[in-house]
Amino acid sequence: MSLTDIMSASGLSSWTELALILCFITFAAIVLWVFVMRSKLSYDHMRNLPLDENSAGSARGAVKGGERP
């Protein structure tokens, strides 16, 4: 008896189908959360962060207008 015969007789195919369904449900939930549940205001705030001079992530002492100190 080979390993292939043992594995095919053990009935593990249902576990792979269950894993596929769980991964698909997780993927669908993430897509739903990103495109539907998140607030548009949150996206607008994050979109403007690189341009916001008062944000916590702005570089301190950055040279403005290309001027050298």
Q: What is the pLDDT of residue 35?
A: 83
Q: What is the pLDDT of residue 55?
A: 59
The stretch 25-50 carries a mean pLDDT of: 83
Tell me how far CA of residue 43 lies from CA of 4, 15, 24, 31, 60, in angstroms.
51, 38, 25, 15, 25
The stretch 53-68 carries a mean pLDDT of: 54
Lowest-pLDDT range, 2-11, 16-25, 31-40, 56-65? 56-65
Higher pLDDT, 1 or 18: 18
Encode pLDDT of 38-53 as tens digits: 777 777 778 888 877 7
